[in-house]
Amino acid sequence: MTVTDTFVDYYKVLGVPNTATTEQIDDAAKRELQRWIKATTHPNLAKRQEAEQQVLAAAGSVIADKGFQGSGYITPIKKPQNRKLLSWEHDYNRPVWKDRVDARRSSQQRSNELLMRYSEPLARAAFDLQSRLYNICRKWFMTGSGTPEEYRRFSTLWLFGQFLGWVEIVRREVQVINYGDIRRTAELQMQLFDVADILSSDTISDHTFRLFRAEQRAVGELMVVERSSGDLIRSDVLGYAQFTQHMEAGPTFARWSQQLDTDVKALLCGGHVGVRMILTQRALIALIDFFDPERIRFPDLNERGRIPLPPGYEDRKRLRPPSEIARFRFEGDPFAQIEPWAREHDLTATWEDASARVRLSKRRLHSDHDLVILHPAPWVEVHVVPRGQHPNRSPDIGGRLHVGDQDRSFQPRRSEIDSLNALLQRFDRPLLQRKQHRSRH
């Protein structure tokens, strides 16, 4: 890295006047340091280099201008006789600082390689499987297609196996995959969890294509193979030809895919198309939207539509009101916990039959939202709604709500988050994060 000789007002870069005290320079350098740390993970290499060059050159030049010795880089900075080194100068001078930056970049490079290697086949596997489910549900593929029955049977089983195989591969590698930040990695995990939960759930009325979680893992493990190219060994899944050979000759494959095979054969004979297939297809579309939000891999919008839910269908585990922040079973009277909590936090609460409404802020102008607690026994539902309104019961398939996600007008203050967490803690529920999350939809 080189610093040009062109004059740059580095005081301006740091945002301090040229009469700034050492304490002001110290604070400004710390702020720039944090900005640079975040910029090192920016996907645009030019922006990372620009941020690095600015902070190093700016802080080094200001130090030199103040009579301290530097080289235009921050390290090494020689200790002046009339002053101790500032705290951020110590950080820059430590060898571990460079090691941390190098490790961050190495991890990001490794993550990018894994992302390129696995996101494309997983997205493609999800797309192929949802397309088959769509054709089964909407185009009578199993009974009205002219393709050979054997192909319809084995290809459908293979599409399930292919998807579960790539999920297994990602599960093994996710500990080192970083999608730019932890939030994106957690979102990927939630998307995969949604699909796995739908396939395994026993709360869905029909049992077609139900695979318990251990069975999903077993099918995925059987589909994973290791392929070598020179010195490189990478994980892959069985191709269609290999899969059909194993199905015809191997009892191991037949054992773990027996339930799926039975359901496929029933569909070939005109069996009922259940809601589990519809929910799975919708969850796969959500996963595709996660991988391809710009619609580059799969640009045809007609191939990314969700199958409509059956009229009157309701599943509270997956169809969640946008206002909901928690829902859980509770034995006993939940309002016995809510009343002392509201009193402790000096919040105004009103009661109606099986519900309670709490104004979130002590001061009227601080918040335009209420907390509404419903008790349709044995369940307790906690909602955040605009002042005076009732919880929005319209469903949002696959919606995982963090506070502030669905209702974008709700921007909670730290005190409001602390109050909500104090209530959730009384019920031993997971706490809300203080940092706001972007909406999934």
- Tens digits of per-residue pLDDT, 403-417? 333 444 456 677 788
Cα 74 off chain centre by? 37
Residues 159 and 77 in one domain: no
Between 95-138 and 149-173, two packed helices, what is the crossing angle to 10 degrees?
160
pLDDT score for 57: 58
Using the 3D structure, point to which of 93, 119, 134 is the last residue of a domain: 93
pLDDT score for 397: 37
Residues 196 and 285 in one domain: yes
Residues 233 and 329 in one domain: no
Residues 294 and 158 in one domain: yes
Residues 346 and 291 in one domain: no
Task: Count CB atoms within 10 A of the CB of residue 405.
Answer: 19
| Position 309 in a domain | no
Q: What is the spatial distance between Cα 182 and Cα 188, in angstroms, rounded to a whole number?
A: 10
Tokens of 138: 């909407």
pLDDT score for 158: 96
The alpha helices in 174-250, defined as continuous H runs, are 182-200, 213-223, 240-249
| Position 106 in a domain | no
Nearest alpha-carbon partner for 235 in 173, 159, 297: 173
Q: What is the spatial distance between Cα 322 and Cα 391, in angstroms, rounded to a whole number?
A: 8
Please return the burial class of 2, using the count of CB atoms within 10 Å of its CB with bins 0-12, 13-18 and 19+: exposed
Residues 202 and 245 in one domain: yes
| Position 341 in a domain | yes
Residues 88 and 130 in one domain: no
Low-confidence ranges of the chain (pLDDT < 70): 1-11, 13, 22-23, 26, 30, 33-116, 174-184, 315-319, 362-367, 392-412, 434-441
pLDDT score for 224: 93
| Position 439 in a domain | no
The CA-CA-CA angle for residues 57, 104, 88, to 5°, reads 40
Nearest alpha-carbon partner for 36 in 50, 21, 18: 50
The residue type of 11 is Y
| Position 176 in a domain | yes
The dihedral of CA 136, 139, 144, 146: what is its sign? Answer: negative
Residues 239 and 362 in one domain: no
Query: Which residues touch 383 (CB under 8 Å, ≥6 apart)?
Result: 321, 323, 324, 325, 371, 372, 373, 374, 391
Element containing residue 11 per DSSP (H, E): helix 10-14
| Position 312 in a domain | no
Q: What is the spatial distance between Cα 368 and Cα 364, in angstroms, rounded to a whole number?
A: 8
Residues 297 and 329 in one domain: no
| Position 386 in a domain | yes
- Looking at the structure of the chain, the number of domains it has is 3
Diameter of the chain measured on Cα atoms: 90
**pLDDT tens, residue by residue, 90-139:** 555 555 555 666 666 666 666 666 666 778 899 999 999 999 999 998 87
The dihedral of CA 122, 127, 132, 136: what is its sign? Answer: positive
Give residue 50's domain range: 10-93
Q: What is the spatial distance between Cα 392 and Cα 338, in angstroms, rounded to a whole number?
A: 21
